[in-house]
Structure 1
Amino acid sequence: MAPPGSRRWACVRVMTGTILGGALGFYVMHRLETSHKAKMEERLRKYEAHMSMVAKGKEEAQQRLQDEAALQHKDQARLLPDS
């Protein structure tokens, strides 16, 4: 059987290792979460910028189609005789 002093030292080492290991684990997870959050925010900004450009392009295309339809309607009105 081990002497009582060595048993006490073993308990101190286990408790110290547990506390330091927990602190290190917490720090590492905190760093991972903050870096992941930053990456996701950047990705969201890029996605929102892309989607606004897509929406703007759709609006411009829709406006072009309306302008062409109005021009065609105007041309047809000129070709038809007044009754």
Structure 2
Amino acid sequence: MAPPGSRRWAYVRVMAGTILGGVLGFYVMHRVETSYKARMEERLRRYEAHMLAKAKEETEQRLQDEAPQHKDQAQLLPDS
């Protein structure tokens, strides 16, 4: 059987290791989470910019497609 002081030291080491391990695990997970959020925010910004550019391009294309129709209709109207 181990002396009482040795057993107490073992309990202290186990408790200290558990506490320090929990703190380290919390810190690592916090860093992972914040870096993930930053990457997702950047990805969302790029996606929104892409969608705005796509919408603008589609609007311009629609206006270009409609422009000749208006000209054709103007040419079909009789002169007064």
TM-score under structure 1 normalisation?
Answer: 0.89
Alignment of 1:42-57 (within 5 A): 42-57=42-57
Q: How many residues align?
A: 80
Report the Cα offset of residue 3 of structure 1: 1.2
What is the CA–CA distance in structure 2 between the aligned matches of 1:69 and 1:11, rounded to whole Å? 86
Which deviations, in whole Å up to 9, do the C-alpha atoms of 1:11-54 show, x marking residues without a partner?
00000000000000000000000011000000000000000000
Q: Give the equivalent residue in structure 2 for 1:64.
A: 64
| Identity among equivalent pairs (%) | 59
Alignment of 1:1-83 (within 5 A): 1-77=1-77
Structure 1: state its 5+ residue gaps: none
RMSD: 1.5
Amino acid at match of 1:34: T
Amino acid at match of 2:31: R
Runs of 4+ in 1 over 4 A off after TM superposition: none
